[in-house]
A and B are shown apart, each in its own frame.
Chain A
Amino acid sequence: MLEAREITVRYGRQAALDRLSFTLEPGRTTGLGGPSGCGKSTLARVLSLMLRPASGTVTVDGRTVRGWRQRAPRELRTRVALVYQQPRLAVDPRLTLAEIIAEPSAAAGRADPDRAAALAAETGLTRDLLTRRPHEVSDGQLQRACVARALSLEPRYLICDEMTTMLDASTQAHLVAVVEAYRERSGAGVLAVSHDDVLLSRWAHRTVRFDRP
């Protein structure tokens, strides 16, 4: 279980999350819906250990998180992966797509070229695309690389924050299928954050809806 208990996050005087509790179960896809500004992305960032809440606790498979971002212990940090809405803001523009996909495993000292190649193929990236840099590919192609990157360390939990909002219908269907295939074979828990209720009703086993704070 990836559990958040009594989480409060404030931006200035405004509380984005107010003593919120949330559980992400392994093996299932949980949808998180609601209008913009309701705190969906804030919760996604807390659950992926990217944002330290003002109060409350996060536990990953029973272990309480004490450090956040780069201070989170590696074995906790690599258990949760995050896919962002805007792939262009989520990659280093100097790296090729192959390097982007291999980056987490290289950083963790677990470089695995075969796995990187298999993930690239699964997300539909052809060999010639892998040698390109972000400015030489489309948003859809770059997001495919970001999904491959997120799966490269076989996370127990995958958080998809508006993963397909910028993409066309076909790329959306493909990436959701890739994430679901990974969840089925690995037993990972998936959090699908989206303001698109139609998408969540098709993708998630159950959906939690936030209202404006």
Chain B
Amino acid sequence: MTEPITAGSAVHPARAEPPAAQTRRLRAEGLTVSFRLPDATVRAVSGADFEVRPGRCLALVGESGCGKSVLAHALLGLLPGNAEVSGRVLLEQDGQELELVGAPQAVLARRVRGRSIGLIPQSPATHLTPVRTARAQLEEALRELGAARPRERADELAERHGLHPADLDRYPHELSGGMAQRVANAMALAGDPWLLLADEPTSGLDRPLVDRAMAALRELCDEGRAVLLITHDLRAAERVADDVAVMYAGRLVEAGPAGKVLHRPRHPYAAGLAAARPDRAFVPIPGMPPELTRLPDGCAFAPRCSAAGAACAVPPPTTGGVACHHPLPEQDARGGGGSPDRDPLESRRA
């Protein structure tokens, strides 16, 4: 019996959602991406199930090279030509369902990118074209998306995102890191998308700027948009996410409410990642992740897992959001065993 990991599903039904938002949803089922190389196949994403809904932020966390960014680019149809995508990604909006896997580029360009799904890029300062002002680029985006009065609309967007309209007349190198971030947010929102994909939006920013960027994402959620945040920064995820999905070697190994996954994880990898934080035990997980060209047949984490046994030679089923043959016991949020300062692997090591 395998139940899909459905991060972002109605975990807090009490939170009110705008009525129009009820019809909007992005749902991935068994999303799989591989790249064919001359002598090998890279299995970047294996059977990912998740759901993103308005008013909520799902953070996808994991180490670099685990397949997070590939997953994000698959949603926008922005993968290189040798990518093979299978599974389903359904974009539900305005009473319609659009299958994104295999959708023609023309459909993605006209209906999805920028209009339904906006992309907040990695390192905003380098994402902008260096030889044109922020305004030229923002107005171009607005024109392409069919805005009637791009100049006025650009000023509005700037003010809405904490920039002075005059700041838009600067070139990217004249913007501070925080200002470049705000320009990138304004550009992502130029087509008023209901879903925002933020791919490592904080890399290279210092902690106060990370906090500000996360607060901006939270505001977007609170005004009824959906946010899919991709990050390796657990503290950033903690600040903004309602739900967290942990990715390891192309698979989602644990997903659920942020407080649970970040503070009381049950998958040994998620627990090891939590314990490695400098405000926790600060101990690394032994070993390295497997090559995506040579994934083991069974659990991909087994070679690094102190609790691995014979059962781990076959892929683990997903139960209660955890894909593991021997998850850590469920901990009570208020119980003594659930303290976030405790090293979750301690009992195993003893």
Contact = CB atoms under 8 A, between A and B. Distances in A.
Our verdict on whether A and B bind, yes or no, reads: yes
Interface of A: 35-37, 85, 124-126, 128, 137-141, 165-174, 176-177, 195-199, 201-203
A170 B284 contact: yes
Contacts of B203: 165-166
Contacts, number: 81
Given A170-B285, A171-B284, A177-B284, 15 more contacts: A36-B177, A124-B287, A128-B291, A138-B64, A140-B64, A140-B65, A168-B232, A169-B234, A169-B276, A170-B276, A170-B284, A177-B283, A196-B278, A199-B278, A203-B278
Nearest to A165: B204
A169 B65 contact: no
A169 B235 CA distance: 10
A37 B206 CA distance: 10
Size category, B interface? 20 to 34
Contacts of A201: 278
A170 B273 contact: yes
Contacts of A139: 64-65
B39 to A, nearest CB: 12
30 contacts: A35-B206, A36-B209, A125-B288, A126-B288, A138-B64, A139-B64, A141-B65, A166-B203, A166-B204, A167-B64, A167-B232, A168-B232, A168-B273, A169-B232, A169-B234, A169-B273, A169-B278, A170-B63, A170-B273, A170-B276, A170-B284, A171-B63, A172-B276, A173-B277, A173-B278, A174-B284, A177-B284, A201-B278, A202-B278, A203-B278
A36 B234 contact: no
Most buried by B among A128, A167, A174: A174
Interface string B286-312: 011001000000000000000000000
A174 B288 CA distance: 11
Contact of A36 (B206, B276, B291): B206
Contacts of A165: 203-204
A59 B177 CA distance: 34
The 5 A-B pairs at the shortest CB distance, nearest first, are namely A138-B65, A168-B63, A195-B206, A174-B284, A169-B276
B278 A138 contact: no
